[in-house]
Amino acid sequence: MNHQRSSRWVGASSFDLDVDVLHRTYSWLTGCNTCLVSEVEYQGLVPVVATVVPARAAYLVRDGNREGFRRAVQEASTRWGGATEPILPISDDGRVEDWVKHAVSSSSVDGLVNVDLTENEAMAVSAELGLPWVDIAYIDHTGPVRLTCHPSWLEAPASPEFWAVSQPSGELWQAVVAGELTDDHLSILEGPEPAIATYENLDGIGRSQLLGSTWLDRTMVSLYGTYASPAPATTPTILWVTTGDDLRDCWDFWNTRALGPRTFARMPIFLVPFEDVLHWDSFDKHLLSSLDRPNEFSVDVIITSESTSDDDLHELAKRLGLEFDEEANTRIGLVSRFPVPTDRRKPPFTYCIHDGVSHFTNFDRRYGAVTLADAHFFTGRTSTVTFDSPVNFKEGGRTLVRLESQMFEGLPRRDRVAALIASNAIWRYDALQIGVMASSKFRLELSVPRLSEALHTLLQDSVKNYSLSDKGSLAAAFLQREGHLQALLEPNLFETIRALTTPRSKSLVRDLARAVGESELSREIVEVAQSWAIQGKRVYKNVSGIPGLGGGAAAAALERLCALGWAERGLEIKCATCHTSSFIRLGSIPAKFGAKCPACDEMQQYTLSGSGPTVFYRLDGLSDRASDQGVFPHLLTIAALTRLEVHSWFMPGVDVVFHDEARNEADVIGLHGGQFVVGEVKTTASEFTDQQLEKDIAVARRLGADVYLMAAPDQISDETRELAGRLCTAANIKLMVLAQDALRPSPSSDS
């Protein structure tokens, strides 16, 4: 994302100030042309991946409640994608089993629907699963799960001609296999759709599931898998048998089918009643015909049941014309062949019996219909994304649209930030998700915020107000220059700046304390020291005065500082009359006549070396003051962060006031590759004491940071890193460490 360079600095003091002011802050970091926020800047034509997908629900039903389970099946039958919506059994004590948590996390549902739990129970389950919930009576009116449409509002394929559906008075297994529409549901359907078929003979339902022509199959029109990890494997046909219309069989079959692979692999799964299936006309022939599949697995059919004995299952398989595979029956896993063979399975078709097949559903998945679009991306005004729907909607209704685009790069994936882009948007799977009315053509208006505006929004949630600290003001003033921040990462520059720094208040106070043997000086002495330090003479040095560098390296670093405008050249007069040493800027040296002492006006001579006057170097006033106050490590850190990630934006040195009036300072606050970073920068790593780390990480956590940054230009010990890591883990914050290897490249050798 591009940002504008400001021509002046404006401090942010409270949330009453305009966001435009905030954007003019620190925008020099990205190096774009000068442009105010209110101006429009065209960023280019950018590609957009758009996915149209229904909101999907998971249903909360009291474990063992047959009517509650059936009510959930009926509701899912009226929803686009309903066949993929799991029905979750919740125990009487409100306990959520681990497999239920896994089913929710892997199924990509958008919310929960409470069928028969109490309000308090539903709230507790919602909190544990981390999803919003709504009572089933309001499923179409509130909450994220309302953003879908009736299956009949999607244009159906030409085949099949009819969709089989269960009658409300039928057995439960029929509703689970085909879906069930109540009289009220049927009454809202108009026109030639839905072309529904209800069968008095149960074998009609049985055959329809083999052919993929049930009403639940109708809910899957225009819904495809868009993601699966780990990649699921195509499985043998699963024949689920229920005896006595068993609730547990029906419930587990529903969830296994709902969570099974669909686009990236096939898992044919059928439910049949043991008492009736052998009386169905030609069902065995239809089943065997469906087993003519690629030869990519080691057995044709897995038979499973929770209510039927193994002896009955073997008898059923025999009468269906299947041959027992004893070897497959004893293996824990079933072999899938890759690459997929070109030959096909042939009779006699084999079977085995397994108690469970849930391992076939152990993968994360996403659904939708995908299309590509382009958008003209602007900053300072609304950008419009327009595309034809990849789903053929016959009527209205609602749906979700997910957008992936470089427009959103660098933005934190926080819903507060998403709401800046569109009023009802959230982040979902790293994409911007918006609830819209279903349409044949979508036109979406997006106001993508700059990183500064996004950061302001995050801070607004956490603090009462914020402003630049003293160090932050110096850093901001320095960064307004047209200098090159990245130059700080060049070898020897930072060290040369430190060598040229005039020791002022902090250094003087420290030296005085050391001289008098006190750990802490009185306030009066500190004030006097600070007053004299500010008035003190600025340091200047020649090439030989830069410690740790040879002449060639020192000269190169000093000249580089001058080229950047951070230092100036001059000559020195050591006055023999008044004993004052003076730095004379080269631009102030007269072309003729001798050297005159600025203090006493006596004629003197410039300091000489073997080849003539010695050139000295001095930091300019702002750079000198910033270095004395320890600002350059902050700037060095920001330079390293922006080099690592172009989508970065930082505030150097911020005083924050929390809503309880607690006050704290952070050396660096900003956004880095979509992560909210709060950090502490020290001149030396030894300043990271245990107490300091605990305080800093507590502030980062309170600010809602994703990352705590610990930075120093020297080596940070393993012990310090380990302590910071433990504290960050406890605070649920990531740790980022920038030390000598990242901030200070190896010095170049002297020539």
Residue 411 has pLDDT above 90, yes or no: yes
pLDDT tens sequence across 189-247: 665 556 777 776 778 898 999 999 999 999 999 999 999 999 998 899 999 999 999 99
Question: Domain check: are 538 and 645 in the same one?
Answer: no
Q: What confidence score (pLDDT) does residue 7 get?
A: 27
Tell me the residue ranges of DSSP E strands in 277-347.
301-304, 323-324
Backbone angles phi, psi at 429, to 5 degrees: 55, 45
pLDDT for residue 131 is more than 70:
yes
Q: What is the pLDDT of residue 483?
A: 60
Looking at the fold, whether 441 and 411 belong to one and the same domain comes out as yes
Q: In the prediction, which pLDDT does 711 show?
A: 95
In a domain, 323, yes or no: no
Cβ atoms of 746 and 739 closer than 8 Å? no
CB–CB of 194/170 below 8 Å?
no
Q: Is the pLDDT reported for residue 13 higher than 60?
A: no
The pLDDT assigned to 503 comes to 80
- Predicted pLDDT at 128: 96
Greater confidence (259 vs 336) lies with: 259
Which helix (H) or strand (E) is 339 found in, with range? none
Domain boundary among 597, 625, 653: 625
Beta bridge pairs of residue 377: 44
For 397: left if phi > 0, alpha if psi spans -120 to 50, otherwise beta; the answer is: left
Per-residue confidence (pLDDT) for residue 11, from 0 to 100: 30
The helix (run of H) or strand (run of E) holding residue 335 is: none
What global pTM score does this model have?
0.82
Q: How many whole angstroms separate alpha carbon 92 and alpha carbon 112?
A: 18
Please list the alpha-helical segments (H only) found in 52-144. 66-76, 98-107, 119-129
Mean pLDDT, rounded, for 247-252:
98
Residues 417, 489 within the same domain:
no
Total domains present in the chain: 3
Mean pLDDT of 482-507: 82
Instruction: Report the pLDDT value the prediction gives residue 336, as an integer from 0 to 100.
Output: 60
Last residue of a domain, one of 390, 414, 449: 449
- What mean pLDDT comes out for the span 523-551? 73
In a domain, 18, yes or no: no
**Which domain CATH number covers 655?**
3.40.1350.10
**Predicted pLDDT of residue 26:** 38
pLDDT, position 3 = 35
Q: What is the DSSP letter of 79?
A: S
Look at residue 593 and tell me if it is in a domain: yes
284 Cβ contact partners less than 8 Å away, ≥ 6 residues apart: 319, 320, 321
Name which of 389, 340, 351, 385 is nearest 368 in CA terms.
389
For residue 546, the enclosing domain spans 476-625
Classify 452 as helix, strand or coil.
helix
Return the exposure string of 266-304: e unless at least 16 CB atoms fall within 10 Å of the residue's CB, then b: bbbbbbbbbebbeebeebeeebbebbebeebbbbbbbbb
Regarding whether 640 and 586 lie in a shared domain, the answer is no
Structure tokens of 335? Answer: 């072999």
With respect to residue 332, please indicate whether it lies within any of the assigned structural domains.
no
Of 19 and 717, more confident: 717
pLDDT at 36: 32
Tokens 């819209």 correspond to: 436
- Res 532: pLDDT: 54
**Higher per-residue confidence, 5 vs 307:** 307
Separation between Cα atoms, residue 676 and residue 104, nearest integer Å: 28
> In this structure, what token pair is assigned to residue 620?
């300019």
For residues 541 and 574, state if they share a domain.
Answer: yes
Mean pLDDT of the chain: 86
In a domain, 97, yes or no: no
- The pLDDT of residue 510: 65
Of residues 294 and 669, more confidence is placed in 669
Q: What is the pLDDT of residue 611?
A: 81
* HSE-up of residue 272 (Cα within 13 Å, Cβ side): 27
One domain, residues 570 and 604:
yes
The helix (run of H) or strand (run of E) holding residue 290 is: helix 283-290
CB atoms within 10 A of CB 415: 12
Q: Is residue 84 part of a domain?
A: no
Q: Are residues 597 and 494 in the same domain?
A: yes
On whether both 585 and 604 belong to a single domain, the answer is yes
Task: Write the DSSP string, 239-282.
Answer: EEEESSS-HHHHHHHHHHHHTS--SSS---EEEEEHHHHTTSTT
95 lies in a domain?
A: no
637: number of Cβ within 10 Å: 26
What is the total residue count of the chain?
751
Q: Do 588 and 483 lie in a common domain?
A: yes
Return d(Cα 395, Cα 440) in angstroms, integer.
Answer: 9
Give per-residue pLDDT as tens, 572-628: 989 988 888 999 998 888 877 788 888 888 888 889 987 889 999 999 988 888 888
DSSP 8-class letter at 34: B
pLDDT digits (tens, 9 = 90+) for 419-456: 999 999 999 999 999 999 999 999 999 999 999 899 99
Q: Are residues 515 and 591 in the same domain?
A: yes
Least confident of 130-139, 459-468, 715-724: 459-468
Which residue, 605, 625, 645, sits at the end of a domain?
A: 625
Instruction: Characterize the bridge pairing of strands 608-609 and 612-613.
Output: antiparallel
Residue 204 is predicted with a pLDDT of 86
Instruction: Please say if the pLDDT value at position 518 is more than 70.
Output: no
64-78 pLDDT, tens digit per residue, is: 999 999 999 999 999
Q: How far apart are CA 135 and CA 658, in angstroms?
A: 37
Helix (H, G, I), strand (E, B) or coil at 423: coil
Sign of the Cα pseudo-torsion (471, 472, 478, 484, in order): positive
Examine residue 407 and state whether it is found in any structural domain, yes or no.
yes
State the number of CA atoms in the 13 A half-sphere of 547 facing the CB: 4
Distance CA(250)–CA(65), nearest Å, equals: 12
% of the chain surpassing 70 pLDDT:
86
In one-letter notation, the amino acid at residue 201 is N
558 shares its domain with 608: yes
Of the ranges 40-54, 334-348, 420-434, 447-461, which one carries the lowest mean pLDDT score?
Answer: 334-348
pLDDT at residue 5 is higher than 70? no
Same domain, 619 and 639: no
Which of these ranges, 166-170, 270-274, 659-663, has the smallest mean pLDDT? 166-170
CA atoms within 13 A on the CB side of 101: 9
Q: What is the pLDDT of residue 396?
A: 81
